[in-house]
Structure formats: structure tokens, C-alpha cells
Amino acid sequence: MTAIGDSPLARRVRAAATRFTTPLLPDDYLTLVNPLWSARELRGRIVSVTPEAEDAATLVVEPGWGWTFEHTAGQYVGIGVAIDGRYVWRSYSLTTPPSRDGRRLVITVRAMPDGFASHHLVHGVEPGTVVRLAPPQGEFVLPDPLPGKVLFLTAGSGITPVMAMLRSLDRRPAGTEDLVLVHSAPDAERALFAEELDLLARRHPGWRIVQRHTSTDGRLDLSPATPPREGTPRSDRATGSSPRTALGDLVPDWRERETWACGPAAMLDDAEKLWADAGLADALHLERFAASFSGSAEGGTITFARSGRTVETDGATTVLQAGEQAGVPMPFGCRMGICHTCVAPLRTGAVRDLRDGTEHRVAETDQSTRTVQTCVTAAAGDCTVDL
């Protein structure tokens, strides 16, 4: 049924049907029959929830109308789930490449200790639940063709986007890639995809997969002070007296490898510094699960009408950040432009979307207002927000 709404004929049928259902869409009536028969908002139905390692689960989602299945391995989707009557949004990497598993989306979620939404997804959500989806996003993808030598550096649930990449590479015929994955998990119980990773390593002679457990192996040392030593034993389970293992010990040729890293923020910060110090910043790709702001705005004075606060901002500070700094009670959710929890009416002036540079403007004389996502917009000149 997903094809409905895609072809030109179907589009014409939809347009005609909308003449009858105005001000609603045909979708609004069709959802009475099947909750997935709507392209008004992207949605999906949870097909299964399979426990993975401790406190993690793999969710299979059947998307509704309007989903294009055109994501690239490594990208993430937004998923909105109703908790206590309210949609809460989070982003998770898709762990399978497109069009696998019969037009299903697969994500693996780790329940964070204080993560209300992740806990609900791992332990509380029933198969059959209808969730909202946001289209795939993210620049954390592999180029085609692949660079000669690749390093994946992951920790914890940071393995999930890389898993999609590995599964995608696994399907390619006769892979000759020179590929290294160094994955750190706290211990065997909390290691995601451990068996599948072993299986992949056996199947592909050119892949070297190092699964580390930080409780016994210590944290991977990404400090630039450690020089690479020669003749380091290539053990899949790095052990020894030292509680910390340097990256250079594990992967002596890391400088020659195009690297994709995903994991806790502290690890990514270390990696960023290590690669920058080596003058190799361009060879490192990071996934931080945050909106990538390519644009910048003009900046200006933002007036928060209801709270009566005014703050001067530069073009890189989002309206949300500016409001928070000024002590305005600002609603927020994902802070990356997918969940629309932070939307607020713009009364006058203009703001610019930092993701793509789109300007949203309301003229002084306009009676109308428009709502803007405060977490991804910054002032483009003076403006007034109704918060």
C-alpha cells in the first residue's frame, strides 16, 4: 500500500478526493480503517520488540504511507512515541540498509539510565503501537566507492549506524575492503550485536573486528600523547597489565584510514582532537546525533513577548538557546529540529533555519503569525517570539 500517493495518477486521485474531504484529507478518514493509511504525518506500526543485550531492544517498524525507503546506511530516523498522552521524540540510527527485511525499518534502542523515552521503547512499547516517524537524516554515511582503508571507531550504542554500514557492505559481492572496527562495550552483557560481528569477521577475511570490554580491557586511549609503537600484537581481546589501550597499539595504521566514529560525546571530543592534532581532521567523520548547522543567520535582538525579556544574539545562537540564557521558560524536545515540541509563534521579524538557511518572516503589519522551531532557528534581524 505504500505506493499509494507516489504515482501521478494516484496524486490526481488524491487531489480530487481532497475536494470532497476538505478541510481534511482523505487520509484522515482512511486512518479509521488502518492507522497506517495516512501520509499527513509519517507514521509506522511497531511490528516486534526483540530484547538484545541487557537493557536494549531491536524494534521493527512497518512504515505507513509516504515513507520512501531511500535512506542510506548510517542515517538516523526520528521516532515519536506517545507517553502519557504526549508525543516524545528521539533519534535512532537505522541498523539495516534500505529495502531489507521486506520494507521494514529496524532500530536498536538502549534504555538510558535516566532516559524516559528510551526506557519506554525498550520495556514499555507493545507490538501494534502506532508511532510517528521523521524522515531519515544525517551525513554519517559511507561514500561510494569506498576509500581503500576504513576504520570504524564505536562505543556503546554508537555501534548502531555502523551496523547498518557493515550489513550494507556485507551484501555487496566480493568485498575486498580493508576494514577495521574497534568497538567498545562495558562488558559482554551489554555488548550489542556481538555474535553477528563475530560472524561478519569470519565471513570477510579483509575485515578486522575488535570487540573490547571496558570493564576488563579499560577505555580506549585516544590521547594524542601516546606514540604508535611497532610490533604490537594484534589481539582481538586486548589484555595486559595496562588498563588503557592506545588506539595506535590496536590500529597502528589509523592515520592512513578514513574513519567513522560514533559513541559518547567525550569519546568523540577526544577523537576530534586526536585527528586534528595529527592534521587529519578531514579524514574523521563523527555522528553526534545533533542537527548539522551549515547556515548562519544575521543575529539581532529577540524579544520574548509574554515573558517580557529581550536578548541580543549572534547569528549562531538559536532562539531556544537565547531564550534559555535569558531565563525564559522555553519548551524543547529533541533540540535538533525533528519533534516540533519547541515551536513558538513568531509575531514580528524574521528568523533563519540554521540547517538550510530558509528565512521565516512575519511583517509588522501582518495579523497572522507563523510558528517556528526555536531549536534550529536563529534571529535574522530583530524579531519577537510569543513566549
Partner 1 sequence: MAISDITEFAHLTDADVEALGEEFDQIRRDVEASRGAADEEYIRSIIRTQRRIEIAGRAALFGSVVPPLWMAGAALLGVAKILENMEIGHNVMHGQWDWMNDPEIHSATWEWDNVCPAEQWKHSHNYLHHTYTNVLGKDKDVGYEILRVTSDQKWNPVNLAQPVFNTLLMLLFQHGVAIHDLDIDGLLKRDISDPEEFKAKLEQVGRKMRRQMGKDYLLFPLLTGPFFLTTLTANMTANLIRNVWSYAIIFCGHFPDGAEVFTEEQLENETQGEWYLRQLLGSANFTGGRLMHVMSGSLGYQIEHHLFPDLPSNRYPEIAERVKEICAKYDLPYNIGPFPKQFWRSIRTIWRLALPNRKAAAEQAAHEAEGLRRDGASTSPAAEAGRVQEPVAA
The residues near 276 (Cβ < 8 Å, ≥ 6 apart) are none
Please, which residue, 326 or 343, has the CB nearer to partner 1?
343
Please, which residue, 283 or 343, has the CB nearer to partner 1?
343
Q: What is the DSSP string of 352-371?
A: EETTT--EEEE-TT-S--EE
Q: Which residues pair with 212 in a beta bridge?
A: 184
What is the CA 348 to chain-centroid distance, rounded?
Answer: 32
Give the nearest distance from C-beta 3 to partner 1 in angstroms.
23
The cell numbers describing 66, all together, are 509516504
Phi, psi of 201 (to 5 degrees): -65, -40
Question: In 3D, which of 139, 125, 134, 137 has the Cα closest to residue 82?
Answer: 125
Give the nearest distance from C-beta 6 to partner 1 in angstroms.
21
What is the CA 5 to chain-centroid distance, rounded?
Answer: 27
The cell numbers describing 319, all together, are 532562539
Check residue 241 for interaction with partner 1 (CB under 8 A): no
β-strands 300-304, 377-385: how paired? parallel
Give the nearest distance from C-beta 116 to partner 1 in angstroms.
14
Give the nearest distance from C-beta 333 to partner 1 in angstroms.
7
Check residue 88 for interaction with partner 1 (CB under 8 A): yes
Residue 86's alpha-carbon distances to 82, 89, 104, 329, 333, in angstroms, are 5, 10, 25, 19, 11
> Rounded CA gap, 252 and 285, in Å?
19
Please, which residue, 88 or 200, has the CB nearer to partner 1?
88
The cell numbers describing 65, all together, are 504511507
Check residue 116 for interaction with partner 1 (CB under 8 A): no
Site string for partner 1, 323-362 (x = CB under 8 A): ----------x-----xxx-x-x-----------------
User: Residue 21: helix, strand or coil by DSSP?
Assistant: helix
Site string for partner 1, 5-34 (x = CB under 8 A): --------------xxxxxx---xx--x--
Q: Which residue has the cell 579483509?
A: 206
Residue 323's alpha-carbon distances to 202, 297, 330, in angstroms, are 53, 16, 6
Check residue 231 for interaction with partner 1 (CB under 8 A): no
Give the nearest distance from C-beta 68 to partner 1 in angstroms.
19
Of 77-85, 232-240, 262-270, 351-359, which part binds partner 1 (CB under 8 A)?
77-85
Site string for partner 1, 285-324 (x = CB under 8 A): ----------------------------------------
Considering only 85, 227, 279, 308, the residue that binds partner 1 (CB under 8 A) is: 85
Give the nearest distance from C-beta 51 to partner 1 in angstroms.
25
Check residue 41 for interaction with partner 1 (CB under 8 A): yes
Give the nearest distance from C-beta 142 to partner 1 in angstroms.
33
Judged by CB under 8 A, the number of residues near partner 1 is 30
Considering only 102, 143, 227, 365, the residue that binds partner 1 (CB under 8 A) is: 365
Please, which residue, 104 or 340, has the CB nearer to partner 1?
340
DSSP 8-state assignment for residue 146: P
Question: In 3D, which of 161, 155, 162, 234 has the Cα closest to residue 190?
Answer: 155
Give the nearest distance from C-beta 310 to partner 1 in angstroms.
21
Question: In 3D, which of 154, 280, 174 has the Cα closest to residue 165?
Answer: 154
Considering only 10, 15, 69, 86, the residue that binds partner 1 (CB under 8 A) is: 86
CB 319 within 8 A of CB 332: no
Which residues lie near partner 1 (CB under 8 A)? 19-24, 28-29, 32, 40-41, 80, 82, 84-89, 132, 333, 339-341, 343, 345, 365, 367-368, 371
